[in-house]
Amino acid sequence: MILVSVGTQLPFDRLIKTVDQWALARERKDVVGQIGPTDYLPKAIDYFPFMEHDRFFALQSKCRVMVSHAGMGSIITALELGKPLIILARDHLRHEHRNAHQSDTLRQFANLAGIYAARDETHLLELLDSHETLTARPSIDASAPREFVDRLAEYVQNTPHRSRRARLMAKLRRR
């Protein structure tokens, strides 16, 4: 199964339309999409706007390849699950997002094994055509290293739990 997702904040019709047209042209019945808030209704892919997290994670775990916007949640999940991920950045100039951070994210992850950065819709189609040969990066551990957790706990325990405002108010009271 190929799982495509756009996240939960904004529509990304360019991504969904491209994957849907690819699935339609190739008569694919194994593409599932989380399409978010959109007016575009796919013709070939099974879709849903949103899904409860655990059910969506089960689909992510089961899929062969993930296709997504250049969102950090999708990237991290693909790395944790050891899934190949094709990403297409939302373009703020097309009003697909508020700024260019997804293009920056795409550039940062473009050379990471298991992440396939689509330059545009044509490149996305090429990557989809070769999806069976895409390989994943070995999965990463979803938990923090024990040393980090211990150091963080020590910091929290030894840091005064007073806000800057509370310290300033206490200082003013002493005057």
Model-level pTM?
Answer: 0.75
Domain containing 124 — which CATH number?
3.40.50.2000
**Number of structural domains the chain divides into:** 1
Structural domain contains residue 144:
no
Asked if residue 82 belongs to a domain, the reply is: yes
Asked whether residue 85 is assigned to any structural domain, the reply reads yes
pLDDT digits (tens, 9 = 90+) for 46-95: 999 998 989 999 999 999 999 998 888 888 899 899 999 999 987 665 56
**pLDDT higher than threshold 90 for residue 140:** no
Q: Does the pLDDT at position 154 exceed 70?
A: no
Q: Answer whether residue 42 is part of any domain.
A: yes
Q: Is the pLDDT of residue 169 over 60?
A: no
In a domain, 145, yes or no: no
Residue 150 in domain: no
147 assigned to some structural domain = no
Q: Determine the structural domain holding residue 110 and report its residue range.
A: 2-133
Predicted pLDDT of residue 90:
76
Q: Is residue 36 part of a domain?
A: yes
3 state SS for the chain: CEEEECCCCCCCHHHHHHHHHHHHHCCCCCEEEECCCCCCCCCCCEEECCCCHHHHHHHHHHCCEEEEECCHHHHHHHHHHCCCEEEECCCHHHCCCCCCHHHHHHHHHCCCCCEEEECCHHHHHHHHHCHHHCCCCCCCCCCCCHHHHHHHHHHHHHCCCCCHHHHHHHHHHHC
